[in-house]
Structure 1
């Protein structure tokens, strides 16, 4: 994966902060792309606290979070935020 990282300094800083390899790579590559403005993209969805447990579960299923069927709503929120 290291060969596909477009902004190595950003990637390394995000990894040092504890982000997963996948998430750090997505952010670093988005920031390196002139057509994307990752800091301006957020805020279009309501906060996870406003979602139903079923909606949270479906989102967790879409992105492949393991153990989701045994999670409470709060645990699903935490897992989604940390993915």
Structure 2
């Protein structure tokens, strides 16, 4: 039986499945809530931003700073890409 995660989680079943697959609590909540909303369609392809490999290291660092990724100052471009994809 699916556990009730409170009013902040709109789709408990999706949330639990994502957590079981290793998604963070924040990511699982974002996806579960988006899927429960009629206004959003998270299964469709996102925006038109280029892949991280085409970003400059400075742009990657700025994005990592926005997401408050720890250790970003000491990361190489490849490490920043990996950290951004995991967040």
TM-score, normalised to structure 1, is 0.94
User: Hey, which bits of structure 1, 4+ residues long, moved more than 3 A?
Assistant: none
- CA RMSD in angstroms comes to 0.9
Aligned pairs (5 A) from 1:1-83: 2-3=5-6, 4-83=8-87
Structure whose CA Rg is larger: 2
| Count of residues in Structure 1 that have an aligned counterpart in Structure 2 | 82
Structure 2 residue ranges without an equivalent (≥5): none
Larger RCO (alpha carbons 8 Å, 6+ apart): 1
